[in-house]
Amino acid sequence: MSSVRLGYGSDRLVSNSQTKKRHSSDEENPSSPLQSRNKKICLEAQKEDIENMDRQKHANFSTMAPNGVRSMGLGKSKGSEKKVLSIKNLKVHQVAAVDHVSESWACLKEAVVAIQESRKLRENLTQEDLYRCVDNLITQRSPAQLYADLRDLTETHIKSQLENFINSSGDRLIFLRQVNDCWTHHCHQMKMVGNIFLALDRGYVLQTAHVSSIWDMGLELFRQHILEEVIVENRCVDGLLMMIEQERGGETIDRSLVKSLLRMLSSLQIYHKVFENKFLMATEQLYSREGQRLMQERDVPQYLQHVEKRLNEENNRILHYLDPSTKRQLIYCVEKQMLNEHKTALLQKGLDQLLDQNRRKDLSLLYSLFSRIKGGLDYLCSQFNAYIKTHGKTIVINPEKDRVMVQELLDFKDKMDGIVSDCFCNSDRFVLALKEAFEHFINQRLNKPAELIAKFVDGKLKAGNKEATEDELERLLDKIMVLFRFIHGKDVFEAFYKKDLSKRLLLGKSASVDAEKSMLSKLKQECGPGFTSKLEGMFKDMELSKDIMLAFKQNLQNMSKNSTLPLELSVNILTMGYWPNYQIMEVEMPSDMVQYQQIFTKFYLGKHSGRKLQWQPTLGHCVLKAAFPNGPKELQVSLFQALVLLLFNTTDVFSLDEITSRTNIEDTLLRRTLQSLACGKARVLIKNPKSKDVNDGDKFIYNKDFSNQLFRIKINQIQMKETSEEQQQTEERVFQDRQYQIDAAIVRIMKMRKIIPHNLLISELFDQLKFPVKPADLKKRIESLIDRDYMERDKDNPNTYNYVA
Amino acid sequence: MSNDIDSTENDGENGIDSQKPEKMFTLKKWNAVAMWSWDVECDTCAICRVQVMDACLRCQGENKQDDCVVIWGECNHSFHNCCMSLWVKQNNRCPLCQQEWSVQRIGI
């Protein structure tokens, strides 16, 4: 301990004499003219002093020379430095020595008292003389005696100081200043005294156990006589706490005073005992009160900002005057009182609002503050997860919002992704929580989200969607795939996607083959080749159909060499099974069309043996040339529309019944067709009586006065549109397929287990099936399989099933 | 328009349209759609229990869907060609009617 102190002291000497700039943080000494004069003496002496010190150190560790002529001894032991050092010292300072013990002590005492009373030293008494006195006393009397005398001297002085404080009637600030002054003086004095008695410190103190250095002795005495006095201690600590409280209240205080006094407490080693605990308690009370009050008064962002401000302030306090060892406890205390106590309330009150309003700055702050408290991030994360679930559910659950659901989901996902990466440091657990929450809420509503996502993709891949460039479309598809990943019932998506894809392909509405292929490869990547093999088959069919048509045209030309064909036929041959199932219907067509169709069928079956062709009139579409009196037009129409319009070549007026019997188109489809021709934007026919819907007995008249700015007019949009029947059929088909899958899964399990209890069977089924099912549905399938003798109930235990091979 | 086809078909019957020189609507282009399937009596291959329109399990596994065609025997029963070619190695009878198996045609 004392050796450390000593090292510290010598460090101080060097810094004072050499740089003067570096001011060690312990004391700032207000120097009166007198003191600075003293200091000058010090400084002059110090250069030699340092050299002396070195030598003495060596001497101390070798044998102590009894005659007191140290430099000689040193000269012998240290050969190389001998000349330079020894000559200088020996010659200059071999002046009148003060030999007598008592005389020496008198000199020293006089010097010490002068320092204590901040007086000038006697003119003819140099620093050099004083060193010699110390040396003399050490060698000729005993160092212990000298030490004791010095201690007495110091003690007396310090005791005398106490009076000032006991009787001080000034207010706290003045009192604190008094203490501080006393302390700085004390330090200053002890330093100078220490300089004079350096030899004592280096020799006696270092070598003797249980004796503290002169500096430490001073501190001990100061503590013992001044600060262990209860009145002083209390007034001092209370004063400090009061000042800090004032500062926390927003006032400016004399920080250097607080700093100096706290350093004093640290130096006296009573910082922890007398100050820290009280300080932490005061802090806790303050912030506990403040936290409760502000939670009531302020909204969450303001509160968080306040907490951040407070934390910064406390950190500053540590930098500026508190002992660094307090840091952990202090910050912990603030965090606990301002954050931990209120974490539930904070998140419940503020998180939803912050997330709703996308207030990223506040959210970042929230994250950084919550990362400070134990379990804070876990809690934040779970609340974040809960928010996504509730908010997401509102997007998904309401059928009235179906039209915008996917776009809203995409936006919501973007927003949450942004928040996680910007505000939550992209932390893994938040990324996971985000995923988990999305997967959870998106499946809250069965099947519909999958259907709507498929339709959304259709909307983006359809021709005429010019809002996005290729890159944008690609990025959008990627985002959609992210949503798709969350969906459990992927079969629903597949069914609707397939239905829409087939329309895009067959009606030539696909915006870009590249985009289609890219989407397909994404699906393949996500769900495996089994999922997309049929979709790929559809694209293959389209390619094959082109080849077949080329061959067919070649064939036709060979058959009718000289004539060109005014009617251009192109047929898409679909492989059954790849494509959605379409209603099979026979319609009446003009004979030339029928013949053309037959020619093709003959050609096709001639090329492929063992096949049969089923024509699908619902998907056919045509281009009609129309010779309106107001100018010729080209109409893009569905096959049904074409069949209806072609009737009007013979007569100008037809009734609904007549049209039905002549075309044989199914009633609802025909009505829809007529509606599109007579009630849509481009009215090629006139309906009588006029109304929005087609009713029994309506008559349809060829519209002679038809006019339109465009030459080509599309009227076949109705084909692209999904009818509610179509939607239902697609859905039902999915459910039908699911039943087969459930049956297959049950039989698979039964075949393996032979005997299995009901509950186990159900839970295994949940594991195997990739789409959401209700236990009631499973029970139905089990019943059905029991009826069909695939399995039976155990006779003794009705809750167990046996496999029937 | 129909005339050309009619003439090639050497079919004297004219369409109704041709009676009227000023036809209001003429069909210029027709995009028709047809679905093909194997011309079979039973949809399922009795050997592998997979629909004949789908590839047999072996071909599905080996990703040779396109090559998996159908074969008809003289008995008019049909199977996946690959299923049948394995079957006849063990038993040269139709699995459904037990008649001697002889190939009527193979689908292409």
Q: Which residue has the higher pLDDT, A689 or A386?
A: A386
Confidence of residue A679 (pLDDT cuts 50, 70, 90): confident
Q: Which of A324, A325, A422, A341 is nearest to A379 (CA)?
A: A341
Domain spans in chain B, listed from the N-terminal domain onward = 55-105
Contact of B11 with chain A, judged by CB distance below 8 Å, is answered with yes
> By residue range, what is the domain housing residue A56?
1-64+82-95
Q: Does A570 touch chain B (CB under 8 A)?
A: yes
User: Between A714 and A78, whose confidence is greater?
Assistant: A714
Residue A566: which of B1, B13, B16 has the nearest Cβ?
Answer: B1
Task: Clarify whether residues A147 and A42 are in a common domain.
Answer: no
User: A773, A742 in Cβ contact below 8 A?
Assistant: yes
Contact A186, A179 (CB under 8 A): no
* For A564, nearest residue in chain B (alpha carbons): B4
Instruction: Tell me phi and psi for residue A708, to 5 degrees.
Output: -155, 145
Residues of B in contact with A711 (CB under 8 A): none
| B6 vs A contacts (CB less than 8 Å) | 592, 595
Question: Among all residues of chain B, which has the CA nearest to that of A590?
Answer: B15
Judgement on whether residues A711 and A730 belong to the same structural domain of the protein: no
Q: How far apart are CA A430 and CA A371, in angstroms?
A: 13
Q: Which residues of B touch A579 (CB under 8 A)?
A: 35
pTM beyond 0.80: the answer is no
Number of domains in chain A: 5
Q: Do A649 and B1 touch (CB under 8 A)?
A: no
- Indicate if A114 and A133 belong to the same structural domain: yes
* pLDDT score at A422: 92
Question: Minimal Cα distance from A569: which residue of B?
Answer: B30
Record: contact A648-B106, CB cut-off 8 A: no
**Any chain A CB within 8 A of the CB of B57?**
no
One DSSP character per residue, A450-483 reads HHHHHHHHHHHHBTT--SS-HHHHHHHHHHHHHH
Residue A275 forms part of a structural domain = no
- Is residue A143 located within the same domain as residue A107? yes
Mean pLDDT, chain A, as a whole number?
A: 82
pLDDT digits (tens, 9 = 90+) for A98-150: 457 777 888 888 888 888 888 877 777 788 888 888 888 888 888 888 888 88
Contact call for A566 and B16, based on CB within 8 A: no
Based on the fold, state whether residues A219 and A132 are members of the same structural domain: yes
Residue A216 inside a domain? The answer is yes
Provide the pLDDT confidence category of residue A388 given band limits of 50, 70 and 90: very high
What is the structure's pLDDT at A84?
Answer: 46
The nearest alpha carbon in chain B to A540 belongs to B66
Among B5, B11, B43, which would you mutate to test the A interface (most chain A Cβ atoms within 10 Å of its Cβ)?
A: B5
Q: Are A743 and A787 in contact (CB under 8 A)?
A: no
Q: Is residue A401 part of a domain?
A: no
d(CA B84, CA B66): 17
H or E element in which residue A637 lies: strand A631-638
Helix orientation angle between A513-527 and A470-486, rounded to the nearest 10 degrees: 30
Inter-chain touch A590–B17, beta carbons under 8 Å: yes
Residues A667 and A654 in one domain: yes
Q: Are B102 and B74 in contact (CB under 8 A)?
A: yes
Q: Does A615 touch chain B (CB under 8 A)?
A: yes
- How would DSSP label each residue in A502-561? HHHHHTT-BS-HHHHHHHHHHHHHHH-HHHHHHHHHHHHHHHHHHHHHHHHHHHHHHHSS
In a domain, A265, yes or no: no
Residues A547 and A581 in one domain: yes
Distance from CA of B33 to the nearest CA of A (A): 5
Higher local confidence (pLDDT), A76 or A395: A395
Query: Averaged over A243-256, what is the pLDDT?
Result: 90
**For residues A640 and A589, is the Cβ–Cβ distance under 8 A?**
no
Q: Do residues A170 and A233 lie in contact, with contact meaning Cβ atoms separated by under 8 Å?
A: no
**Confidence grade of residue B64 (pLDDT, cut at 50, 70, 90):** confident
Domain B55-105 class in CATH:
alpha beta
Is residue A707 a part of any domain in this protein? yes
Query: What average pLDDT does range A622-644 have in this prediction?
Result: 89
In the sheet with B78-80, reading across from the earlier edge strand, the strands are B78-80, B70-73, B103-106
What part of A 592-611 touches B (C-beta under 8 Å)? 592-593, 595-597, 599-601, 604, 607-611
| Same domain, yes or no: A91 and A187 | no
A681 DSSP 8-state letter: S
Q: Answer whether residue A393 shows pLDDT above 70.
A: yes
Mutant choice from B26, B33, B84 vs A, greatest count of A C-beta within 10 A: B33
Q: Chain A contact for B65, CB < 8 A?
A: yes
The ipTM (two decimal places) reads: 0.78
User: Same domain, yes or no, for A569 and A674?
Assistant: no
Cα Rg of chain A (Å, integer): 50
| A343 in a structural domain | no
Residue among A577, A593, A620 minimizing CB distance to B33: A620
Q: Which residue in A568, A582, A650 is closest to B29 by CB distance?
A: A568
Give A-chain residues touching B108 at CB under 8 angstroms. 607-610
- pLDDT-derived band at A315 (thresholds 50, 70, 90) equals very high
| Minimal C-alpha gap between B84 and chain A (Å) | 16
CATH number at residue A134: 1.20.1310.10
* A687-743 residue pLDDT tens: 888 888 888 888 898 888 888 888 888 887 777 788 888 888 888 888 888 998 899
Contact between chains at A570 and B31 (C-beta distance less than 8 A): yes
Q: Is the pLDDT of residue A93 over 60?
A: no
